[in-house]
Amino acid sequence: MRRIIQQRLADAISMDLPELIEREFRLPAIPNKVHSVIGMRRSGKTYFLYQMMKRCMSDGVERSRLIYFNFEDERLADISLEDLHWIPDEYYVMFPENRYKKVYFFFDEIQLVSGWERFVRRLLDTESVRIYVSGSSAKMLSREIASSLRGRSVETIIYPYSYKEFIKHHGISYPKTLKRIDSRTRSVLENLLITYLNYGGFPEAQGLSKLDRQLLLQGYINTVLFRDIVERFGVTNITVLKTLIRHLIRNAGSKFSVNKFYNHLKSQGFKVGKTTLHEYLDHLQDAFLLYRVPIHTDSERKRMVNPAKVYVNDTGLAASFSFKQDHDLGHFLENSVFMELRRRYAKVTYGMTPSGFEVDFLVEYPDGAPQAIQVAADVSDPITRERECRALAEASAILPDAELLLINLSEEETIEKNGVIMELVPAWKWLLDKI
């Protein structure tokens, strides 16, 4: 194994870094921590490690101090915890001049080595290093990293392409100041948004035909199902789990009640307990496939008895499971707004106004700034506009001083209703805006 590690180190130093789309994610600037890069499968974690290596090089770090080590290499299939010490030992034999310099280790899929966290903690404590770990969500989920590294790690969650990254991938440029966008560019951005809502943001899905894209994304779901949930948690009722996944993905953005779904399954002859369904929901969220948004309330009891809204990691997944030829752009747009809020580190709930209107998102950003957001693809119908605006106008009773936004596909306007100011914002513009 020592000779194999020597060869892998030589390969790591000489490898050419691939061309890549610069992702918008940032790593917390906290010293003496392991940087854990996590997220759903195929969302771009490995390429984000390459991106970090390129950033280090642009900051003047010599290539010899950047070590990418992929534990999925078949030559390392038999590596054990006892062998891991050869990585730093042999590295410093090869580059003794770097012994007292900061060395950057990028360990991809290191979770394949049982007990890896003990090696990482020791390396962090004894050498001048910065360590990045990344891995599949089957064995490297956020809660497992927290327990394994015992407060020594900070995490960055990698999502599929945002709309901004999607545009970058397709080589479309636009002015930095969105107010200067001409009508032609605006039209291009609006049309690209519809494409983005249907294609989704998984890097590997870009440019594929509709059929190939569906097969690819359905394959992602199956991998999450079997490797991240069935194998990891020993799930035996696979039929119920599949039924749950299909239901949630096809109804992304809708409220979900375990009780109602339990009764539906019972009427279909399925035998499963409510506790098991709650566990399945936790598993799906742990695997970064789905997210639950609770109702806005200070009462824990109300939060428990009111159904959560469920969103999927990427609208491409929803499109790949949809029965409809023409997808529901309204639900897809709402889902994309939610995922963008996650990228902006916002705390998100949904609300019910005193008159019984639902507010899609009640948002609090890290700086404390509040927003209430309604999402509707088309607000040209006066009845639809009146309903959405009334819900927003009443949202201030739930979240005082909140900025009120009605996000739609194309219209832009400032609206005043009963003395309340709200902004009608085109989605392409909101998604490209910097917070």
User: What does the pLDDT profile of the chain (435 residues) look like in tens digits?
Assistant: 999 999 999 999 999 999 999 999 988 888 889 999 989 999 999 999 999 999 999 999 999 999 999 998 899 989 999 999 999 999 999 999 999 999 999 999 888 888 898 999 999 999 999 999 987 655 565 566 656 676 788 889 999 999 999 999 999 888 888 887 888 999 999 999 999 999 999 999 999 999 999 999 999 999 999 988 998 889 999 999 999 999 999 999 999 999 999 999 999 999 999 999 999 999 999 899 999 999 999 998 889 889 999 999 999 999 998 866 556 899 999 999 999 999 999 999 999 998 999 999 999 999 999 999 999 999 999 999 999 999 999 998 899 999 999 999 999 999 998 789 999 999 999 999 875
- At 287, which CATH number? 1.10.10
What's the pLDDT tens digit per position in 59-96?
999 999 999 999 988 999 899 999 999 999 999 999 99
User: Does residue 177 sit in the same domain as residue 122?
Assistant: no
pTM listed for this prediction: 0.93
Q: Are residues 318 and 206 in the same domain?
A: yes
The answer to whether the beta carbons of residues 298 and 180 sit under 8 Å apart is no
The answer to whether position 171 is within a domain reads yes
Q: Is 332 domain-assigned?
A: no
Q: Mark which of 125, 158, 191 sits at the end of a domain.
A: 158
Q: Are residues 197 and 311 in the same domain?
A: yes
**Number of separate domains in the chain:** 3
Give the three-class secondary structure for 117.
Answer: helix
338 found inside a domain: no
Q: Are residues 233 and 246 in the same domain?
A: yes
Residues paired with residue 348 on neighbouring β-strands, in sequence order? 363
pLDDT given at position 58: 96
User: Residue 383: its pLDDT value, please?
Assistant: 95
267 in any annotated domain: yes
Residue 115 lies in a domain: yes
Within 10 angstroms of residue 294's Cβ, the number of other Cβ atoms is 15
Whether 372 and 399 have beta carbons less than 8 Å apart is answered as: yes
Residue after which a domain boundary falls, among 294, 326, 358:
326
Same domain, 219 and 285: yes
In the prediction, which pLDDT does 154 show? 87
Tell me the C-alpha distance between 117 and 332, whole Å: 39
Domain carrying residue 200: 161-326
H/E element holding 34? Answer: strand 34-38
- 3-state secondary structure at position 27: coil
Q: The domain that contains 98 carries what CATH number? A: 3.40.50.300
- On whether both 403 and 278 belong to a single domain, the answer is no
What per-residue confidence (pLDDT) applies to 326?
A: 57
Q: Are residues 322 and 183 in the same domain?
A: yes
Distance of CA 195 to the CA centre of its chain: 19
Is 50 domain-assigned?
Answer: yes
Is residue 317 domain-shared with residue 279, that is, in the same domain? yes
Q: Is the dihedral of CA 72, 77, 229, 26 positive or negative?
A: negative
- Same domain membership, residue 182 and residue 35: no
| Beta bridge partners of residue 423, listed in sequence order | 405, 414
283 and 352 within one domain:
no
| Domain match, 191 and 311 both | yes
Check whether residue 306 and residue 166 sit in a common domain. Answer: yes
Does residue 184 belong to any structural domain of this protein? yes
Q: Show which of 295, 326, 357 is a domain's final residue.
A: 326
